[in-house]
Amino acid sequence: MEEHSLAADWDELVALTTMQISVVQLDNGETRIRQEFPDEEVVESAAARIRPILLNGDACFYQKALASLGYFCRALPLDTEWVKATRAEWRLRVDPSTPEEAGYWVMISDTVTGEDQGLDRHKLAMAWIYGDVVHHDIERRQEGDAFGLFERFRGAVPLVAWTMVGTIELLNYIRALHEDGVLQLRQEVLDEQVALKSTTWEHSGEVFFAPVGTKAPTTASTPLPKDWARLGKAADLSRFRTGFGGQLLRAARSPRMPELPSPEEIEAARTPAGGWKRDQLAAWGVPWPPPKGWKDELIQRWETARQDGAPPPLPSSAPADFAQETLDFG
């Protein structure tokens, strides 16, 4: 919850828990009622994260965590009172026992059939969370179907936001009790990574390949079996394709380096003092101050790029009938 983008601005998240409605009286006598919400996809991802917090059958159900906290704080009057108040607020905001506590009702009438229907905000919210987003709960979906997707979504936003607020506040309370020694938690419980900061996967390493059907290594630590060869700089990566025809490997330049200068261009860019200007290095993707070996790296990248399209040499250990076109990494 804490890592979700909706929680990046705490004040805005708290504001979403309330019914913020603007009412404007126009000169023609018309009244415009308006509410603004975050993008649906953002709220959908938040709803997926709060799902186990809402379900009493899940191990991390909010009330279960709160009950455990109450046990450890049973000898501490102030903390016990906080747990009781928090439990009551959860029941009111997230699991209301009566429709009157749900916030508002939406009532519609079919002028053709004369049928009237009404649903409170909480049921509309649950119809969106469990009927539209997380899984297809047919009964809840049908119950809120007549009101339309936006009414279900409108009802869900305050519930999702308040659940996030309540969960993050409970997490911070647990942290405080841990620091005070009331709770004895393993540090990895608090330090474990729960969300990705970056979704770019990049590692330095070596790439090995073999013909389709070649025996694969049994474990990550065992030596590669016979006929596996290391991918060299001169390899024609366009030949590596999946069984579906898509290219698996491709030569890529650094995103910081839109242009690769030739050795002659590098030398021509020297200043009279024998160095290079900062903006010129930046255009080549070289940080300032330039690291040791930057020029050799640029030249090596340029030479590698010039070799794109050249067929890779076959390894000496490759079988005579080896053909790179038969490789299948799919």
pLDDT at 171: 92
pLDDT at 102: 79
pLDDT digits (tens, 9 = 90+) for 76-116: 999 999 999 999 999 888 888 777 787 888 999 988 888 89
> Which segment of 55-69, 164-178, 181-195, 242-256 scores lowest on mean pLDDT?
242-256
Look over the chain and give the mean of its residue pLDDT values, rounded to a whole number: 82
Distance CA 129, CA 237 (A): 45
- Residue 308 CB contacts under 8 Å (≥ 6 apart), including other chains: 236, 237, 251
Distance CA 215, CA 193 (A): 35
pLDDT digits (tens, 9 = 90+) for 120-133: 999 999 999 988 88
Q: Any idea what DSSP says for residue 95?
A: S
Position 289, amino acid? P
pTM of the model: 0.66
Average pLDDT in the 9-36 region?
Answer: 90
Left (φ > 0), alpha (ψ -120 to 50) or beta: where does 241 sit?
Answer: beta
Average pLDDT in the 148-170 region?
Answer: 93
Flag whether pLDDT at 251 surpasses 80.
no
pLDDT band at 237 (very low <50, low <70, confident <90, very high): low
pLDDT digits (tens, 9 = 90+) for 52-64: 898 888 888 999 9
pLDDT at 173: 92
pLDDT at 260: 74
What sign results for the dihedral spanned by CA atoms 32, 35, 36, 40?
Answer: negative
